[in-house]
Structure 1
Amino acid sequence: MRILYFSRDYTSHDYRFLSALAKTGHEIYYLRLERRGHTLEDRSLPPEVSQVHWAGGNAPAGWRDGPRLLASLKKVIRQVRPDLIQAGPIQTAAFLVALSGYRPLVSMSWGYDLLKDAGRSRLWGWATRFTLKRSAAFVGDCDTIRRRAVSFGMREGGIVTFPWGVDLSHFTPQDPVSEDPPGPVTLLSTRGWEPIYGVDVIARAFASAAVHQANCGGPELRLIMLGNGSQAGLLRQIFTQGGVIDQVSFPGQVGYSDLPR
């Protein structure tokens, strides 16, 4: 069986899905919609996976690129002749597949596509319904996403729900070691610094909690802010104004092998 995996970018989630698909014994092909700048996964594609070169995958993609990308996608489908396409997010990669007329399509939600993007406008809502009504199956990671998919026309019997979670074979927290007196409490944020992830809320909460701990004599709080993004200036401003910038470290984008450390 030939399976074409079509995703927006190349992230740790994509690597894990592709690695699992590679173990099935099927022919796996990977199609990348866009490249948005920041490196989100430093591991190469699994050797069993073939990357498909097409009109997309080298720069950010917008609605105006739709006709050009759709024509290129149809060409890819003719060349690869997949037995199944798994695609997501809903209104971008999966939407292009639905527009191409290809079946069967397995649409995969990335969370924000149904929780936020589907309600952006009538056009986004229409694209969501159009795609889900033409999907043979749907993959999501929680019941909230399941309910949203059904509300946009996905038949409930075609939905598979499972959490993506943490790879416990790679990272399993050890039992905490008691210290007397208690040592610093270190918190970790792994989200990108973009408005959709609410990292500014984490920053303000940490500043408030760290000051409270200092005033009441509790253990010192420290925060590790992994990643990067458009809110870098705002986050540093919040920490500086809160007087806790010295308790925050910014390692940048950390690779898969270094993350457990």
Structure 2
Amino acid sequence: MRVLYFSLDYTPHDHRFLATLAETEHEVYYLRLQRGPRQTENRPVPDGVHIVRWAGGRRPFRWRDFPRLLVDFRRVVRRLQPDLIHAGPLQQVALFPALAGAHPLVAMSWGSDLLRDAERNAFYRWASRFVLSRADAFVGDCETVAQKALSLGFPREKMAIFPWGVDLTRFSPGPDDGLRARWGWQDAFVIIHTRSWEPLYGVEVMAQAFTRAARQEPRLRLMLLGGGSLAPRLREIWQRGGVLDRVQFVGQVSQRHLPRYYRAADLYLSASHSDGSSVSLMEALACGLPVAVSDIPSNQEWVRQGIEGWLFPDGDAAALARILVRAARIPREQLQTLGWAARRRAEERANWAQNVQRLLQLYVLVQKRESAL
């Protein structure tokens, strides 16, 4: 089968999907809509995947370029004649094949496109419904996303809902390999945060909560990975709060090295305001880390209060601060029990190698339906 995989950019998630598809018998073509200002994946496109050259994919996407790009997208489809188009997020990427009338179309939600963007304005509401009305199948990563697609009129029987999952061999419990000693944190309680520093991910809530908690519990330290537009604001919060020296700004970390940072931590933190099944949450669970996460619906599908960690009311920095202090002060044995439960949760539900088979099975079903028409 000739598969055209069309995505917004090139991220670790795209690399993972493409690497899996490259190992199948399918002929895989990769099309990207933009090259964003911050690149998060430095590995090359997997061997065996054909990179499609077209008018897009060279700079950040602008809506004013859409008509010109749509013309060129139609040219790409005519030239490649794909047997299946896998496209997402919905309102930007999947809108191209939907408007071009290209079938079969497997529309894949990336979480926020449905959970937040679908209600951003009248155009996004229309685009969400239009794409789903033209899609032959829908892929989502959690029940929260599935319910949103249902509310927009997409039938359950044409959905494949599965968490993307992680590599449970790579992301696994293990000892700290010296990171804590490098920073003089051997006796500290270390929190890890891996989300982008953007408003969607509640990073100001995270920063305010850490400031409050660190004033009460001197052992608290924060390991901050990644980057984003709110970097100056985060530094300002911690500088004013007098805790900036307790934060380690790690920067962007490759997928290969990411597990060692989880293993150096005692607790994973995410204050995200919206998510599908968060891959970073699954990575932390797989590494046996207790978690403290916002109580948004998708997180409640993964974390049970007091079992894998703690849930706090979305946006409530004071509640999160109380959890951070409590986590730092509970007996080590209790923390280990939470960590074991976290790993079990990941083993039960977050196995990428197993979960991605749902996508490959969906490809076959969609192709059979198309052939029967």
Q: Show CA shifts across 1:22-63 (max 9, x none).
A: 111110000000011112111111101111010100111122
Quick one: which amino acid aligns to residue 250 of structure 1?
F
- Structure 1 partner of 2:192: 188
Kept in 2, the 8 Å contact 1:42–1:256? The answer is: no
Kept in 2, the 8 Å contact 1:29–1:52? The answer is: yes
1:198 to 196, 202, 207: 202
Deviation at residue 7 of structure 1 after TM alignment: 0.3
- Whole-angstrom CA distance in 2 between matches of 1:243 and 1:162: 43
Quick one: which amino acid aligns to residue 150 of structure 1?
L
Deviation at residue 165 of structure 1 after TM alignment: 3.1
- Whole-angstrom CA distance in 2 between matches of 1:93 and 1:7: 6
- Structure 2 partner of 1:138: 138
- Structure 1 partner of 2:164: 164
Asked if 1:154 corresponds to 2:189, the answer is: no
Quick one: which amino acid aligns to residue 138 of structure 1?
F
| Local SS of the residue matching 2:259 | coil
| Local SS of the residue matching 1:64 | helix
Q: Show CA shifts across 1:168-213 (max 9, x none).
A: 221212379xxxxx92111111111111111221111111111121
Q: Show CA shifts across 1:125-171 (max 9, x none).
A: 00000000111111111100000011112111111111123322212
- Structure 2 partner of 1:247: 246
- Whole-angstrom CA distance in 1 between matches of 2:167 and 2:240: 36
- Structure 2 partner of 1:179: none
- Structure 2 partner of 1:207: 211
> How do residues 27-106 of structure 1 correspond to structure 2 at under 5 angstroms?
27-106=27-106
Quick one: which amino acid aligns to residue 258 of structure 1?
H
Equivalenced residue count is 251
Identity %: 52
| Local SS of the residue matching 2:173 | coil
- Whole-angstrom CA distance in 2 between matches of 1:43 and 1:85: 24
Q: Show CA shifts across 1:5-29 (max 9, x none).
A: 0000111110111111111111000
| Local SS of the residue matching 2:16 | helix
Q: TM-score scaled by structure 2?
A: 0.66
- Structure 1 partner of 2:11: 11
- Whole-angstrom CA distance in 2 between matches of 1:160 and 1:206: 38
- Whole-angstrom CA distance in 1 between matches of 2:163 and 2:215: 35
Return 103-112 or 193-202, whichever deviates more. Answer: 193-202
- Whole-angstrom CA distance in 2 between matches of 1:169 and 1:72: 41
Quick one: which amino acid aligns to residue 239 of structure 1?
W
- Whole-angstrom CA distance in 1 between matches of 2:173 and 2:203: 23
Structure scoring higher RCO (CA < 8 A, sep ≥ 6) equals 2
- Whole-angstrom CA distance in 2 between matches of 1:57 and 1:97: 16
- Could you tell me which runs of 5 or more consecutive residues in structure 2 were left unpaired when the two chains were aligned: 177-185, 261-373
Asked if 1:227 corresponds to 2:226, the answer is: yes
Quick one: which amino acid aligns to residue 20 of structure 1?
T
Quick one: which amino acid aligns to residue 232 of structure 2?
G
> How do residues 119-138 of structure 1 correspond to structure 2 at under 5 angstroms?
119-138=119-138
Structure having the larger proportion of residues in helix: 2
Kept in 2, the 8 Å contact 1:43–1:256? The answer is: no
- Structure 1 partner of 2:263: none
- Whole-angstrom CA distance in 1 between matches of 2:125 and 2:19: 32
Deviation at residue 94 of structure 1 after TM alignment: 0.4
- Whole-angstrom CA distance in 1 between matches of 2:74 and 2:5: 15
- Whole-angstrom CA distance in 1 between matches of 2:210 and 2:139: 34
RMSD: 1.3
| Local SS of the residue matching 1:68 | helix
- Could you tell me which runs of 5 or more consecutive residues in structure 1 were left unpaired when the two chains were aligned: 177-181, 215-219
Runs of 4+ aligned residues of structure 1 deviating over 4 Å after TM superposition are none
